[in-house]
Amino acid sequence: MTPEDMRYLLVGAGLFILGAIGFLTRRNLILMVLCAELMLHGVSLSMVTFGRIHQTNEGQAFTIFTLTVAACEAGLALSLVLALYRKSHSLDIQLWSELRDPDVPGPKPDEPETGSGATGSSYGEIPTLTVAGPAPLEPVAGGR
């Protein structure tokens, strides 16, 4: 194993670790599925490198099968996410923590967030204007 091969293996390991961190920390269902795909990328890179170390095509052939399974997994995961979304109307994974065993402690409730993210807007702080003059008329449905 040459140092060049080792670098590729390390990058593969890094991608796998990043995917694992994201899968364990994020609460969005779709991002969790994406993080699983990132872990698959790391493994694919490692397998291609192994195939190159051994000078065979088997690593690449196996990675192609991994790609096939990943495509199946993405399709099934998305339809499952949609089915879950119909039940809970949210992509939050913690809404499904009621499926846990009765003796397992549940997730901690969210503490109110401090800082600019508390407004719930992704734009950060939005300046507010002082109200001046009468409020504009609401548009009437069907009217002018």
Query: Which residues within the stretch 95-134 sit at the binding site for another protein (CB under 8 A)?
Result: 107, 110, 113-117, 120-122, 124
C-beta of residue 60 within 8 angstroms of C-beta of residue 44: no
Interaction of residue 21 with another protein, rule CB under 8 A: yes
Shortest distance, CB of residue 117 to another protein, whole angstroms? 5
- Report the distance separating Cα 89 and Cα 119, nearest Å: 21
36 binds another protein (CB under 8 A): no
Considering only residues 46 to 75 of the shown chain, the ones binding another protein according to CB under 8 A are 48-49, 51-52, 54-58, 60-61, 63-65, 67-75
Q: Rounded to the nearest whole angstrom, what is the least distance from the CB of residue 129 to another protein in the complex?
A: 21
Cβ neighbors of 53 (< 8 A, separation 6 or more) are 1, 5
CA quadruple 57, 59, 60, 66: dihedral positive or negative?
positive
Check binding of 88 to another protein (CB under 8 A).
Answer: no
Q: CB 39 → another protein: shortest distance, Å?
A: 10
Residue closer to another protein (CB basis): 56 or 100: 56
Residue with tokens 């099968």: 65
**Contact at 8 Å (CB) between 62 and 46?**
no
